[in-house]
């Protein structure tokens, strides 16, 4: 059920981000969502893309350093309080969020939240039991 996220190691140097984004662009892959984790020395560029296999292949060929992680994605109604509700469900069930990021699409019906947790299976089970709409790889590709 979980969806795949691409993580790219980006050194804090001029131009590294250009190479990475350019490579993805040339592969004809669309970026759906992104977040960056940064430290003094490097950043980790995390992406949800339309075609992860294609993106990874292109990045590997460009000598970028990538890894794939599975994350949980949910679709929430785009209105005040939706996120608070999800976060509360997780907190009530002792599930820690390592990091998360969100995005919306042009339809504005849903807001999408990507969650990084320790146990995807348990988290997804709890979320669906509580009526939260999970997003699949297929859903993501159609957005």
Partner 1 sequence: MQKKFYQPEAETMPVNEIKKLQEYKLIRQVRYVYENVEYYRNLMDEKGIKPEDITCLEDISKLPFLSKNDLREAYPYGMLATDLKNCVRIHSTSGTTGKRVVAFYTQNDVDMWEDCCARAIVAAGGDKGDVVQVAYGYGLFTGGAGLHGGSHKVGCLTLPMSSGNTNRQIQFMTDLNATILCCTPSYAAYIGESLKEKGYQPEDNKLKAGIFGAEPWTEEMRHDIEKSLGIKAYDIYGLTESSGPGVAFECCEQNGMHINEDHFYAEIIDPDTGEVLPEGSKGELVFTSLDKEAFPLIRYRTRDITILSREKCSCGRTFIRMKKPMGRSDDMMIIRGVNVFPSQIEAVLLNLGYAPNYQILVDRVNNTDTFEIHVEMLPEDFSDTPKHITKKEKKIQAAMKEMLGINPTIRLVAPKSIARSEGKAVRVIDNRKKIGINT
C-alpha closest to that of 52 among 2, 99, 5, 102:
5
- Sorted by sequence, the CB contacts under 8 Å of residue 99 that are 6+ apart come out as 35, 37, 116
Q: With binding defined as CB under 8 A, does residue 123 bind partner 1? A: no
Residues making up the chain, counted from first to last: 143
- Which is nearer to partner 1, 11 or 77 (by Cβ)? 11
Binder of partner 1 out of 60, 69, 118, 122 (CB under 8 A):
69
Binder of partner 1 out of 2, 5, 115, 132 (CB under 8 A):
5
Q: With binding defined as CB under 8 A, does residue 12 bind partner 1? A: no
* In the chain, beta strands by DSSP E: 3-11, 31-38, 42-49, 65-77, 99-104, 110-116, 133-134
Q: Single out the segment in contact with partner 1 by CB under 8 A; choices: 33-41, 73-81, 100-108, 131-139.
A: 33-41
Q: With binding defined as CB under 8 A, does residue 34 bind partner 1? A: no
In the numeric block, the tokens 């009530």 are attached to 92
| CA–CA separation, 52 and 84 (whole Å) | 30
Q: With binding defined as CB under 8 A, does residue 116 bind partner 1? A: yes
Q: Which residues here bind partner 1, judged by CB under 8 A? A: 5, 7, 9, 11, 37-39, 41-42, 44, 46, 63-65, 67, 69, 98-99, 116
């Amino acid at each position: 059920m979980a969806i795949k996220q691409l993580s790219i190691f980006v050194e804090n140097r001029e131009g590294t981000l250009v190479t990475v984004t350019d490579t993805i662009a040339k592969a004809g892959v669309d970026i759906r969502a992104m977040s960056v984790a940064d430290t003094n020395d490097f950043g980790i560029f995390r992406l949800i893309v339309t075609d992860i296999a294609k993106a990874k292949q292109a990045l590997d060929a460009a000598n970028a350093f990538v890894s794939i992680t599975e994350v949980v994605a949910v679709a929430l109604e785009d209105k005040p309080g939706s996120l608070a509700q999800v976060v509360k469900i997780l907190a009530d069930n002792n599930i820690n969020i390592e990091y998360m990021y969100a995005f919306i699409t042009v339809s504005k019906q849903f807001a999408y939240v990507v969650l990084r947790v320790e146990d995807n299976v348990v988290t997804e089970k709890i979320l669906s039991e509580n009526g939260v709409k999970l997003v699949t790889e297929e859903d993501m590709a159609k957005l």
